[in-house]
Amino acid sequence: MHRAYNFSAGPAVLPVEVLQEAAADMLDYKGCGMSVMEMSHRSKMFQDIIDTAEADFRKIIGIPDNYKVLFLHGGAHLDFAMVPMNFQQGGTGVYINTGSWTKKAIKEAKKFGKVCVAASSEDKNFTYIPDCSDLEFPEDSKYLYICENNTIFGTEYHKLPNTKGLPLISDVSSNFLSRPMNINDYAMIYGGVQKNIGPAGLVIAAIREDLIPTEELPTVPTMLQYKTHVDGGSMYNTPNCWSIYVCGLVFKWILANGGLEAMAKRNEEKAALLYNYLDNSKMFHGTVVKEDRSVMNAPFTTGDKDLDAQFIAESKKANFENLKGHRSVGGMRASMYNAMPKAWVEELVTFMEDFEKRNLK
Amino acid sequence: MHRAYNFSAGPAVLPVEVLQEAAADMLDYKGCGMSVMEMSHRSKMFQDIIDTAEADFRKIIGIPDNYKVLFLHGGAHLDFAMVPMNFQQGGTGVYINTGSWTKKAIKEAKKFGKVCVAASSEDKNFTYIPDCSDLEFPEDSKYLYICENNTIFGTEYHKLPNTKGLPLISDVSSNFLSRPMNINDYAMIYGGVQKNIGPAGLVIAAIREDLIPTEELPTVPTMLQYKTHVDGGSMYNTPNCWSIYVCGLVFKWILANGGLEAMAKRNEEKAALLYNYLDNSKMFHGTVVKEDRSVMNAPFTTGDKDLDAQFIAESKKANFENLKGHRSVGGMRASMYNAMPKAWVEELVTFMEDFEKRNLK
C-alpha cells in the first residue's frame, strides 16, 4: 500500500486507522449486514452512530447542553447565507474581513440586510489579522462574524476579538478541533468538516440555543433555517450519513490520542518545524506576519515563480502531494491538519533543505 | 460476511461489487497514495472522477449537450426551494400534489411567488396519481412540477402529464435510473441519490440550459442558484466527493449490467413477484390503485395493526430489514431498488406465504 505525503488544504489527510476501520466495516457494519451507506437514517443503528458522534464531539470540545450541535449539508458556503438569514433580523451583521471566506460571507449577508465591515486586512492581501481589541460596532449590531483560520492566506486568530458583548460567530472550518477552545467565548462555531475532520459535504455547528429563532422564518427556505435542523435532530431530511459516520470515527481517534491538548501540542510542533526552517532559509520565506501565522496552513514562496514551479514539480516526484499554493497567493502551501504525522513535515523540511542546497546560487 | 435482506426506502442497498471496490481502494485509490476522501477536489484525480461520473450518467440516460448535469449538496429538500427561487421569476409555479414531497415543494414555492396546484390525490391519502391529461394552467405559468415516484405512498407516474408546452420539472429521487427515460420530455430532472444510486447528501440534476437564469439572482443565496453550480462545474465549493465517487462506481455497474433497459426488466420482474402475491393473498394487500403502483416502493398491509407488528418483528428475525411502513401509511413497505437482487424478493414472498399460512384464521 502506498501513502502519499498529502499536504492538501482540504479535503485532506485522514488517520490511517480510521480509513482501515471504514474499509473493514464496508459491507457489514458491526454485523448488521449492511454498509453505513445502505442504512435507513431512521434506523436505530444510524441513530446510535449520530448520537455517539454528537456526544464525542461535545466531549472533545467541552460543549454544554445550552448549545445545540447540528450536522448540516452543503459546506460552510451554505452557512454564509444561513447566518444572516437566521440572525440579522433587521439589524446589522458585523464582519471582520480576513480573506476569501469572509468576503463571500459578507456578500451573502448584504443580500439579506445591513452589514458593517468593522476591520479588514485586504490592504495587504490578507497577510495579517487586524487589531480587533477596540472596534466600533453599530448600535443595532446582531453578531460579530469572523473566520478564525484562513486556509488560503494562512492566517489564524491567536486571540479572539473584543466583542463588546456581541454574540461571536466563528467559521472554524480549517482549524476545527486543532486546539482547545472555550465554547463560552462563542455564540456559534461552525465549519465544513473536510479539512480537519472528515469527508466533504458536511458542516458541524454548535449554536447557543438563545440565538436560534424560536419561530419559523416565513421567507427563508426551510432547509436554511437552523430551527429546522434543531427540531429534526439534524435529520429533517436524509443527512450525509457516511460523512457523519467517518467524523465519528475521527472523534474516537482524537479521544484515543489525547484530545485537543495533544492535538494542539503536535500541531504546534509540526508548524514550528516548518516555520523555523522558513525563518532561517535563504531561499524560502513565509507570506504571513509572524504573530498571525496559522498552525494549520503555511503558505511560502521562493519569490521566484519559475523556482516555485520547479519546487512543486520536484516535490511531486518525491511523493509530496498538493503543495501548490492557492492562486490568490501563489507559491506553495503546506497544510498540516491533525491527521498529518509529524514525520511527513520532517520529510518536507529535509526535502526543502536539500532543494535549497541544490538550487541556491 | 453477513448481508441482510435490506428493503430500506433510502438510504438503501448498493451493489456488493461497488462496496467491495470502495473498500479495496480506501487507503490508496488507484495507486495515488490517498483515499478519495483525502483528495483535493481541485486535483486532476478528482476531476477525472467527477468527469467520468458525469459522462457515464449522461450515457446511461442519453442526455444531450443542451442539458447541464449538476452534482449538488443537500438532498432534494434543498431543491424544493431552489426550483421556485430560480424558475418562478414573477410567474406561477404549477404543481401536481401526489404526497409528502410535493407538499413540501409547494410549501417552499409559496414563500417565493405564485403557486397553482393543478391536481392532487390528497383526497384519498395519495393512493393514486391524478389524471393529468387535460389540466388547466394559469397564463403566467413558468413550469409544471411533479414527483415522479412517491416513496412513501408507493405511487408512480406511468405516463407523464400533458404539459401543454410548460417546462416539466420532475423529482425522480426514488425511481432515478430505474427505467429508460426520454430526457427531451423534461426541462429538468433531479433527485437525491440515496435511494437508487449512492450515499446520501448528494443531488444529481439535469437541466435544459435555456431554463437556467443567465444572470446572478441578487436576492437568492449564491449556493441556491443553479447558475453558480453550472459556472463552477459542480465545484463552486467542495462537493460531496465521496458520494460522487460511489455514484460513479454505481454508474459503471449499471453500464456493465445492461443499462436502463436491463434495470427496468429486472425491476419489473421483482415488482411483479410481490404484487402478484399481494393480489392473490387472503391476508396482505397493497395500498395503491393497481395502475399507479410504483415499481420501486410497494406499501402493503394486513389491515390489522397487531398482525402488521407481528409480521415486522418476525421478518426482522428472518434477516429482513426495514420492512416497516412509513408512519403516514402504516403497515409495511418493500423498497426494491436497482441493486436489490431478485432472490431477496423471492425470499420475501416465500416468507410472506409462510407467515400467511401460519396466521390465517
What tens digit of pLDDT does each residue of A177-195 get?
999 999 999 999 999 999 9
Instruction: Please give the Cα distance from B121 to A347 (Å, whole number).
Output: 66
- On whether both A288 and A222 belong to a single domain, the answer is no
Question: What proportion of chain A, given as a percentage, has pLDDT over 90?
Answer: 98
- B167 within 8 A of B86, measured Cβ to Cβ: no
Taking CB atoms and an 8 Å limit, are A201 and B8 in contact across chains?
no
Residue A2 CB partners (closer than 8 Å, separation 6+): B28, B31, B32, B33
Which residue from B31, B200, B237 is facing A2, i.e. has the nearest CB? B31
> Number of C-alpha atoms within 13 angstroms, CB side, residue B314?
14
pLDDT of residue B361: 80
Per the structure, the complete domain to which residue B286 belongs is given by 259-359
Give backbone dihedrals phi and psi of A150, rounded to 5 degrees, phi first. -105, 100
Which residues in A lie closer than 8 A to residue B220 (C-beta atoms)? 111
- A12 within 8 A of B38, measured Cβ to Cβ: yes
- For testing the chain A interface, which of B6, B34, B322 should be mutated: the one with the most A CBs within 10 Å? B34
* B332-335 and B297-301 strand pairing: antiparallel
Instruction: Flag whether B4 is in a domain.
Output: no
pLDDT of residue B79: 98
Taking CB atoms and an 8 Å limit, are B11 and A74 in contact across chains?
no
Minimal C-alpha gap between B11 and chain A (Å): 5
Name the residue in chain A with its Cα closest to that of B83.
A221
Instruction: Please give the Cα distance from B297 to B127 (Å, whole number).
Output: 13
Which residues in A lie closer than 8 A to residue B319 (C-beta atoms)? 33
Task: Tell me the mean pLDDT in the region A304-327.
Answer: 96
Which residues in A lie closer than 8 A to residue B77 (C-beta atoms)? 222-223, 236-237
Classify residue A103 by burial, with Cβ atoms within 10 Å: 0-12, 13-18, 19+: middle
Instruction: Flag whether B64 is in a domain.
Output: yes
Three-state DSSP state, A81: helix
What is the CATH classification number for the domain harbouring B46? Answer: 3.40.640.10
- On whether both A269 and A165 belong to a single domain, the answer is no
Name the residue in chain A with its Cα closest to that of B80.
A221
Catalytic residue among A56, A68, A142, A171: A171
Name the residue in chain B with its Cα closest to that of A46.
B11
Instruction: Flag whether B8 is in a domain.
Output: no
- On whether both A153 and A300 belong to a single domain, the answer is no
Instruction: Flag whether A40 is in a domain.
Output: yes
- B150 within 8 A of B101, measured Cβ to Cβ: yes
- For testing the chain B interface, which of A194, A244, A344 should be mutated: the one with the most B CBs within 10 Å? A194
Show the cell assigned to B21.
471496490
- Provide the b/e sequence for B333-360 (b: ≥16 CB within 10 Å): bbbbbbbbbeebbeebbebbeebbeeee
How does pLDDT run across A10-35, given as a tens digit for each residue? Answer: 999 999 999 999 999 999 999 999 99
Measured at the alpha carbon of residue B235, what is the angle toward residues B230 and B240, in degrees to the nearest 5?
120
- Cα dist from B48 to B42, B66, B343, whole Å: 10, 22, 35
Instruction: Flag whether A94 is in a domain.
Output: yes
Show the cell assigned to B20.
467491495
Q: What is the pTM of this model?
A: 0.98
- B198 within 8 A of B223, measured Cβ to Cβ: no
Which residue from A10, A19, A239 is facing B26, i.e. has the nearest CB? A19
Measured at the alpha carbon of residue B113, what is the angle toward residues B110 and B117, in degrees to the nearest 5?
55
* B203-208 and B155-156 strand pairing: unpaired
Query: Cα(first)–Cα(last) distance of chain B, in Å?
Result: 39
- On whether both A146 and A91 belong to a single domain, the answer is yes
Taking CB atoms and an 8 Å limit, are B3 and A319 in contact across chains?
no
Instruction: Please give the Cα distance from B267 to B342 (Å, whole number).
Output: 8
- On whether both B304 and B251 belong to a single domain, the answer is no
Task: Tell me the mean pLDDT in the region A343-351.
Answer: 98
Taking CB atoms and an 8 Å limit, are B81 and A223 in contact across chains?
yes
> Number of C-alpha atoms within 13 angstroms, CB side, residue B356?
16
- On whether both B271 and B154 belong to a single domain, the answer is no
How does pLDDT run across A151-163, given as a tens digit for each residue? Answer: 999 999 999 999 9
| Of B256, B290, B316, the domain-final residue | B256
Instruction: Flag whether A136 is in a domain.
Output: yes
Minimal C-alpha gap between A1 and chain B (Å): 7
Any bridge partners for residue B229, and if so which? Answer: none
Catalytic residue among A56, A68, A79, A101: A101
pLDDT of residue A357: 97
- A21 within 8 A of A30, measured Cβ to Cβ: no
User: How many domains are contained in chain B?
Assistant: 2
How does pLDDT run across A38-75, given as a tens digit for each residue? Answer: 999 999 999 999 999 999 999 999 999 999 999 999 99
Name the residue in chain A with its Cα closest to that of B200.
A240
Report mean pLDDT in 10-residue bins for chain B, 361 residues: 95 98 97 97 97 98 98 96 97 97 98 97 97 98 98 97 98 98 98 97 98 96 98 97 98 98 98 98 97 98 97 97 93 98 98 96 80
Show the cell assigned to A323.
503543495
- On whether both B220 and B350 belong to a single domain, the answer is no
pLDDT of residue A177: 98
| Of A232, A256, A280, the domain-final residue | A256
Task: Tell me the mean pLDDT in the region A229-239.
Answer: 97
**pLDDT confidence bin for A328, thresholds 50/70/90:** confident
Show the cell assigned to B123.
383526497
- On whether both A145 and A201 belong to a single domain, the answer is yes
- For testing the chain A interface, which of B223, B228, B235, B316 should be mutated: the one with the most A CBs within 10 Å? B223
Which residues in B lie closer than 8 A to residue A75 (C-beta atoms)? 73, 237-238
Minimal C-alpha gap between A282 and chain B (Å): 30
Three-state DSSP state, A76: helix
B171 is annotated as an active-site residue: yes
Which residues in B lie closer than 8 A to residue A35 (C-beta atoms)? 14, 19
- On whether both A181 and A282 belong to a single domain, the answer is no
Catalytic residue among B101, B252, B270, B308: B101
Look up residue B74 and give its DSSP letter: S
- On whether both B231 and B288 belong to a single domain, the answer is no
Three-state DSSP state, B273: helix
Instruction: Flag whether A57 is in a domain.
Output: yes
Which residues in B lie closer than 8 A to residue A201 (C-beta atoms)? 73, 201-202, 238-243
Can you tell me the ipTM of this complex?
0.98
Closest CA to B275 of B251, B299, B303, B305: B299
Show the cell assigned to B130.
391524478
Between chain A and chain B, how many beta carbons pairs sit less than 8 Å apart? 233
Taking CB atoms and an 8 Å limit, are A37 and B199 in contact across chains?
yes
- On whether both B176 and B30 belong to a single domain, the answer is yes
B101 is annotated as an active-site residue: yes
What is the CATH classification number for the domain harbouring A282? Answer: 3.90.1150.10
Instruction: Flag whether B303 is in a domain.
Output: yes
B253 is annotated as an active-site residue: no
State the Cα torsion B101-B107-B108-B111 to the nearest 10°: 170
Q: In which element (H, E) is residue A248 found?
A: helix A241-256
| E strand residue ranges, A91-135 | 92-97, 114-120
Give backbone dihedrals phi and psi of A51, rounded to 5 degrees, phi first. -65, -45
pLDDT of residue B62: 98
Taking CB atoms and an 8 Å limit, are A1 and B27 in contact across chains?
yes
- On whether both B71 and B204 belong to a single domain, the answer is yes
Question: What proportion of chain A, given as a percentage, has pLDDT over 70?
Answer: 100
- Cα dist from A283 to A65, A98, A201, A332, whole Å: 51, 27, 38, 13
| Of A222, A240, A256, the domain-final residue | A256
